[in-house]
Structure formats: C-alpha cells, structure tokens
Amino acid sequence: MGCIGYCREEPLVNIHLPGKPLIILHRVTEKDAEEIVRAVAAGEVPRKLSLCRINDWDPLVGEKLLFGEGFQDVPAYAEIPYFAPQRKVVLRDAGLINPEDIDEYIAVGGYSALYKALTRMSPDDVIEEVKASGLRGRGGAGFPTGLKWGFTKKEKSSTKYIICNADEGDPGAYMNRNEMESDPHMILEGMLIGAYAIGAREGVLYIRAEYPLAIQRLEKAIGQARDYGLLGENIFGADFSFTLTIAEGAGAFVCGEETALIASIEGETGRPRPRPPFPAQKGLWGMPTNINNVETWTNIPVIINRGGAWFSKIGGERNSGTKVFSLVGEVDRVGLAEVPLSTPIRTMVYDIGNGGIEGKAIKAVQTGGPSGGCIPASLFDTPMDYEHLTAVGSIMGSGGVVVMDAGTSMVDTARFFIGFTNEESCGKCVPCREGLKHMLMILDKTLAGKATETDMQTLEELSGVIKNASLCGLGQTAPNPVLSTLRYFRDEYNTLLKKARK
C-alpha cells in the first residue's frame, strides 16, 4: 500500500470486507494482529483500532470506487478533523492502491488520460488544456506549466528532453517522496502526456539518492509500463514513442536548481549555469529541455481527464489546484496534508494540525525551506499560495511547513538555514559564497551574545547584496530566513544584543 499521509497515526492498516466500507485502522502494533484476524474472520473490524471508514472514493480519473455500507459507528473519513479540510487531487490514490501493481493503477482509471491525449487530442490541444487549468510549477517558482511546455514545443529540434525533478532538496519536506512511493505510475503518465505535447522522445527522472524505495518503485513502474507497451515505440498505436531513464542525485541541494541538475545528469559537478539560455532552448546535452517538479507532473492526468476548467475551480485566484504540504515540527498532528491552494495557514496548523504538541502555543511557521521565511502566528490568516506567502516575506517553495512553538529560538532558526545554504552554496559566485559565510559569522556572534547594533545593520545590508547579485536562486533567496526573522522577531535578536553592551 501507499501512504494516506496521516503520519502521526501510523502504522495504518486498511481492511476491506466485501460490501462493507474500507476501514482504516490506526496505531496498529504486532500485538493487535491476532485481534484483527479474529474480527475479520467474523466479518467485523476491531472498533478500538478503527480510525475511519470510507464508503466510496473518487479517484478523479476513473469511475468512483464503491466500497460498501455498514459500520456506521466508525467515524466517516470526512468527519476526521485531520482529513476534513483536505482535498485529494495529487494524492488521489495514495494509500488506496498497491503502488507496485500497474493493474491497480489502471483499475482506478490510470493511463486513461494518456489514451485520451494520444487518440483524441493534438499536442496543441494538450497544451491548451494545461494552460486553461492554470497549473503552476510545484517546484517552488510557480511558473505556469502550459506556457513553459509551449516554449520547448516551439523549438525546432529533432531531439528534445523532458525531466522530472525529484531532487526534493528542502530538508523538512517529503511530499515528493510519498508521491513517488505511493503512486509512481501517475508520474509516468503525466510525463508521457507532457512528452507527447512537447515532442520529446526521451525523459529523465532525477531522484535524490536518499530515497532508495522511491527509486526502486519507479524502476518497477517503468518495467511494468514497458511490458504493457506504455513506454517504447508507437504507444497506443499512435505516432509517439518514449523512453524513460532514472538518474540518481548524490546529495547536493543546489542540484535541485534546473541548470545544476542538468549539469549533474551530464556527469559534472552540479553548479548552476547562467540563464539565458534557458533549458527550453539549450538544456540537457544542449537540446531543448522541459523540466518540471514531481508534483507538477502528477496533476496532468487529472487535468486531461477532468478538463482545465474543472481544475481551475479548485483553489484561489491565479492559484488553481491543490498543494501537498508537509506539516512537521512542533505540531500535534504531523503528516502530509493536501489542501486547495490559498487555504489559510490557520486551517493547516490548527484544524489539520491540532495546534502545538500538548497544547503548547505556536509561535511561527517556516515555509519554503531554506529559501523561505518565518511567519508569525499573528499572520496565520495568510492564504497559502504563491503571491500571499511572498508578500509576507516567505515563499511557498516545495510545500514544507515547519511549526515552531515558544521553545524555538528564531535567531537559532535563522542560523540553521544560513548554515545550510552556506554549506550547500556551490561556490561559483562571490556574493553567495563569501556573503553567506559572513552572515553566518555574524549570526554565531549574535547567538554568543557578542553582536552589536552595527552587526545587525551589516546583516541587513549583506542580505540585500546577496539577494541582488547572486547567480542562481539559491543565493537570491538564501537571506530570506534572516530577513523575515529580523522583520517579525527583532526582539529576539535585541535580547541577545543587550548582553553585548553589559
């Protein structure tokens, strides 16, 4: 089974008796096995362990799954506070199908969108549909996907590539891992549709080496798809052929950046290359290349089958669709939660997350990973989408949400991120390499109680220079954790400064 994302309640077990709802058991231990078997043999489910029941489920791309009726005393899925505000589009099958079995994916409508695209739509139709959906890249920058596909499609070249960015570099975000491990075929299907639209015959999945199970499942999925003729020559009898290769990352954060990623696939050190030229013109091996994040690809089959207009109704203005967030840190219910874009932070942290651990007050959330910022509790009405998170000094990034309570020092948090980006800077450009090193020194000085007001000014000035003068997105966003904590938690810096004056 894949994973439904309620990590706090793990391990979860699904039970489906004929004609009865699907029952999810939670916090199951080995000791429970006997009780479960005994109950199931008697046509029952162990009530004590039952988290919720699912009577029917809409996998969006296929027919509704009807599990059955009964067990009315077990709460319905939609009544569980953790699930109620969620909307599953990306994780439509996660936890419900066996990710290692292509037949189960096909049974819930898998590959029917590919069939539709190849037999009834022209490449331009596909691109128009994706444009109409308003889908934006889930890798961080939020660039409109349909528009990006159009750039690569336009290029006249006999060889074009598409790449799936599965480097998932944000330490604290793991949604891409779950998407790959729980439903690998939806990524393949999305890429196949994209390749058809763009005119690419080869694709590469770039996966970080820290995810061996994801790599294994995708290898298996590729093998199965090949056996079914879904990869290879003349797929579905159409004039379209496609092959897919897996390339493994090797533990460098900057390789998530698209030009560095391409350098890495080519067997070089992963240092970003100046843009332009953009990958759409000169990408992998110098050929036009379209690169998208894992989660971006997973939305494609749904858009093709349900239509761009349907998709664009989910979420907020200019922010259509859902996003999977990883809710972690000092929060009661940790896990992966998929919500419509523009859902307020408050809903995520309190309704889904149930607030702090043991009722502790939450001070802030950090979103967007090392490129993002800290948002204080007073701003928790902020909708989680590209524009609104940027407006409060953070970013959406890949969807990491790290919750911090009163026990977390914000200066230490800022130092943690600068330590991270300083280490991960590829060293190619001076502002990023030298600037971050200097910021780190000042932050260490601050934490040691030795910094002065002048140091704070230097910190701010350095931030500005690094943001404006760095070569790639790593440096351009690296000062955000410092700037946002200076903006909202200046008092925590000040408390440390006072010691210096004594």
Partner 1 sequence: METARLNEIVESYPTPTGKILGILEQVQREDGYLQKDVLKTLAEKLEVPLSELYSIATFYSFFTLEKLGRHVVTVCMGTACHVRGAPALADTLKALLKVEEDETTQDGKFQLTTADNDFTVTSARCFGACSMAPVLRVDNKIFGYMTPERIPAVLKQFGWEEDTHQNA
Ligand X SMILES: Cc1cc2nc3c(=O)[nH]c(=O)nc-3n(C[C@H](O)[C@H](O)[C@H](O)COP(=O)(O)O)c2cc1C
Binding region for partner 1 (CB under 8 A):
7-8, 10, 168-174, 177, 202, 204, 206, 209-212, 245-253, 264-270, 284-285, 326, 328-330, 334-336, 366, 369, 400, 402, 404, 408, 413, 416-417, 419-420, 422-423, 426, 437, 440, 444
Query: 68 vs 172, which CB is nearer to ligand FES?
Result: 172
Query: 146 vs 393, which CB is nearer to ligand X?
Result: 146
Judged by beta carbon distances under 5 to 8 A according to partner kind, the member of partner 1, ligand X, ligand FES, none in contact with residue 67 is: none
The HSE-up count of residue 176 (CA atoms within 13 Å, CB side) is 31
d(CA 378, CA 383): 13
Contact stretch for ligand X (CB under 6 A) within 48-56, 87-95, 192-200, 255-263: 255-263
SS3 of 336, please?
Answer: strand
Q: How many residues bind ligand X (CB under 6 A)?
A: 22
Judged by beta carbon distances under 5 to 8 A according to partner kind, the member of partner 1, ligand X, ligand FES, none in contact with residue 257 is: ligand X
Judged by beta carbon distances under 5 to 8 A according to partner kind, the member of ligand X, ligand FES, partner 1, none in contact with residue 221 is: none
Binding to ligand X, residues 164-183 (CB under 6 A): 165, 167-169
Does 75 interact with ligand FES (rule: CB under 6 A)? no
Does 141 interact with ligand X (rule: CB under 6 A)? yes
Burial class of residue 43, CB neighbours in 10 A (0-12, 13-18, 19+)? exposed
- Provide, rounded to whole angstroms, the least separation between the CB of residue 181 and ligand FES: 14
Instruction: Please spell the DSSP secondary structure of 67-124, one letter per residue.
Output: -----TTSPBGGGSTTTTT---STTSSTTTS-TT-HHHHHHTTTTHHHHHHHHH--HH
Does residue 332 contact residue 351 with C-beta atoms inside 8 Å?
Answer: no
d(CA 478, CA 493): 19
Type of residue found at 329: G
Q: 131: which residues sit within 8 A by CB, 6+ positions away?
A: 144, 146, 147, 150, 308
Q: What is the contact mask toward ligand X in residues 455 to 484, using x (rule: CB under 6 A)? A: -----------------xxx----------
d(CA 156, CA 172): 40
SS3 of 28, please?
Answer: coil
Query: 68 vs 171, which CB is nearer to ligand FES?
Result: 171
Does 172 interact with ligand FES (rule: CB under 6 A)? yes
Does 349 interact with ligand X (rule: CB under 6 A)? no
Does 139 interact with ligand X (rule: CB under 6 A)? yes
Torsion sign across C-alpha atoms 340, 342, 343, 349: positive
What CA–CA distances, in Å, run from 120 to 80, 116, 314? 40, 5, 25
Query: 172 vs 473, which CB is nearer to ligand FES?
Result: 172
The four Cα atoms 205, 209, 211, 216 give a dihedral, to 10 degrees, of: 60
Does 258 interact with ligand X (rule: CB under 6 A)? yes
Does 138 interact with ligand X (rule: CB under 6 A)? yes
Does 134 interact with ligand X (rule: CB under 6 A)? no
Answer whether the bond into residue 274 is a cis peptide, omega within 30°: no
Structure tokens at 275: 């843009």
Query: 168 vs 189, which CB is nearer to partner 1?
Result: 168
- Provide, rounded to whole angstroms, the least separation between the CB of residue 58 and partner 1: 26
d(CA 399, CA 175): 8
Q: What is the contact mask toward ligand X in residues 378 to 407, using x (rule: CB under 6 A)? A: --------------------x---------
Number of H helices, E strands in the chain: 19, 18
Does 137 interact with ligand X (rule: CB under 6 A)? yes
SS3 of 30, please?
Answer: helix
d(CA 265, CA 261): 6
Judged by beta carbon distances under 5 to 8 A according to partner kind, the member of ligand FES, partner 1, ligand X, none in contact with residue 146 is: none
Query: 140 vs 194, which CB is nearer to ligand FES?
Result: 140
Query: 408 vs 476, which CB is nearer to partner 1?
Result: 408
Query: 88 vs 138, which CB is nearer to ligand X?
Result: 138
Judged by beta carbon distances under 5 to 8 A according to partner kind, the member of partner 1, ligand FES, ligand X, none in contact with residue 330 is: partner 1
- Provide, rounded to whole angstroms, the least separation between the CB of residue 298 and ligand FES: 21
- Provide, rounded to whole angstroms, the least separation between the CB of residue 84 and ligand FES: 26
Q: What is the contact mask toward ligand FES in residues 126 to 165, using x (rule: CB under 6 A)? A: ----------------------------------------
Does 171 interact with ligand FES (rule: CB under 6 A)? yes
Q: 348: which residues sit within 8 A by CB, 6+ positions away?
A: 325, 327, 337, 339, 384, 401
Instruction: Please spell the DSSP secondary structure of 153-172, one letter per residue.
Output: HHS--S--EEEEEE---STT
d(CA 155, CA 319): 28
Among 5, 140, 393, 400, binds ligand X (CB under 6 A): 140
Q: How many residues bind ligand FES (CB under 6 A)?
A: 2
Judged by beta carbon distances under 5 to 8 A according to partner kind, the member of partner 1, ligand FES, ligand X, none in contact with residue 250 is: partner 1
What CA–CA distances, in Å, run from 243 to 132, 188, 281? 28, 10, 21
Q: What is the distance of C-alpha 343 from the center of its chain?
A: 16
The residues that touch ligand FES, with contacts defined as CB under 6 A, are 171-172
The residues that touch ligand X, with contacts defined as CB under 6 A, are 137-141, 143, 165, 167-169, 254, 256-258, 291-293, 296, 398, 472-474
